[in-house]
Structure 1
Amino acid sequence: MRCRDIELVGACDTNPDVAAHLPVGIPVFSDVDAAFTATRPTMAIVATPHHTHFAITERLLRSGVAVLKEKPFALNVQEAHRLAQLIDDENGFLRLAVQRQFSKVFTQAKEALPDLGALRHFEAVYHLNTHPYGNTWRGDEKQAGGGAMLDMGYHTLDLIVSYFGMPHTVRAVQVPGRTGSENLTVEESAAAILEYASGLVGRIFLSRCESSKHESLSVTGTEGSLTVAPGIFRRRDKTGEETEVRTESRSAAGAGGEVLTTFLASMGDARIARAECLRGLQVMALTDALYTSLRGKAAVALPPVDLPSSRGGAALAGAS
């Protein structure tokens, strides 16, 4: 991945072997404070285990550094509100590297939603066949925050909030997994029903232990339907006839380059920063409700989600 508008000034990792994957001469630090003092960056990418995100991000934002951060927005809903307040207090700029928000076909699908008429139902599926992770931080709830729903499923939940807004009620169940690891303290698979004030109903299935990888979102309205997946978007009218097909071909490096280029172009835009923060709070509120429903084996109603008010949160308040 290359970007002409960025000069890489350093990396920070507990594993010194990462130096072998960087251009010659780029320093590698094992301590965030030492890295910041030596390099004085204007932007930073945070791609570390989830439980380390907040402390690193706080150090950067309080120093005026723009942050491009891996998902999730936070480890839990309480930390999400702390992060939102920090961004507000420091007038900070933070965006998440949720690649579907930067994908042309997923953007085109969102723009086509009004053509479907009144939305009736949707189904979101995302499953992987991951390597054993029971002995890694991803298998530990305290470090990862969650499994199929918060970790890989964050991409799907972020997309759902972006497309449809916040549901008023959710019901989630844990689906049996297959790893059998005694050290695993997160869910491997989960399913849920989401209900909206408009009457829209959504179904989601998220899993890290299936035989293959699959990701898709299908939406049906009174006037037609659409399906979007990585690389392709299809739309049909209400008779089922295909009316539009859009495709997108990009490598993982190309996708990363688009995220980085878009981030640079938006740096300093306060409205984008607020919208990103609000969506992060909404996704974390949705995730929290799903986990509450899963543990309590009951439907959970979602409260309204707002930004801190001092920088115009009321203007971007999320409807439940």
Structure 2
Amino acid sequence: MRPFLYDRAASTESAPRAFDGLKEASLIQGRAPAEYLAGGTTLLDLMKLDVMQPARVVDITPLEPQHGSIAISDAGLRLGALVKMSTAADHPAVIKTYPVLAQSLTLAASAQLRNMATLGGNLLQRTRCNYFRDTSWSACNKRNPGSGCAALDGLNRQHAILGASQDCIATYPGDFAQALMALDATLDIAGPSGSRTIPIATLHKPPGSTPHIETTLAPGELITALSIPAGPWTRRSLYLKIRDRQSYEFALASAAIALHLDGDTVKDVRIALGGVASVPWRARDAEASLIGKPLNEATATAAARMAFVGSAPRTHNAYKVTLGQKTVVRALLQAATLEG
């Protein structure tokens, strides 16, 4: 690990000031030379691997009293960004009313990591691509902009088939973001220019020609809260995760489903995919194909096929097309059996 400066944020307003003196500093690996630290489960790991080399680390854990609570009302659910993953996953109201959120958190990481990691930090975790995490591979546009992508012609079994580009085919590794996508969550952001609110769908950027720019957050901005609106689809929701083993493993394919039925007819449905895309992926065309139709194996299969139109599999990850489709079908049919 390289030497770095360490600051502790005293308030939400003062936290971004740690970035002020670095505005004119050179980017490090295409990123701002300072990083926020919350649970630390990803940042410290990548610093030890020399994948991330921030000149300054700003510890925001002292802000937990302001951003570490859970509130539920008729309008919806509000989660502080510094709420621990395990706390949200075990919250009775979240389990009962927003089961897709609780399940996505429970199926992520190990119990020890869930006790440390925060919700905001979980959304900002970086890819698990081996070429990104192993600095002996020089060709990684996400770590070393302009160097190429070793995964294109390398071992790419875990990599993305949706939303990727010729500059990066790394997969977004998280689970929680897909659940938030399915529920149309919004994020409260604080930063040097003040506060703003954005849809979760606009947080992550597809790789395009700049895979090192992973989110729409400006330097010094931090997520302070997550809001999920109430709706008739939140109770009939689930997260299905397919992986190589049942414990502490990243998704090969996953689906977050939120469903509103009138009898057996689909009034509204939300489908978000994980394990197959470069960013949390909403399958809106697949959703539209189900509206007004009965939900059965035939309609679910047609929707699943539509969800993967435009996929671009490579040598080792072509299996994800079929696996992803079967995951969507299974998740939709399981959701239909739940009580609304």
* TM-score range for the pair, normalised by the shorter chain length: under 0.3
Of Structure 1 and Structure 2, which has the larger fraction of its residues in helix?
A: 1
Q: Which has the higher contact order (CA 8 A, sep 6+)?
A: 1
TM-score by length of 1: 0.27
TM-score by length of 2: 0.25
Of Structure 1 and Structure 2, which has the larger fraction of its residues in strand?
A: 1
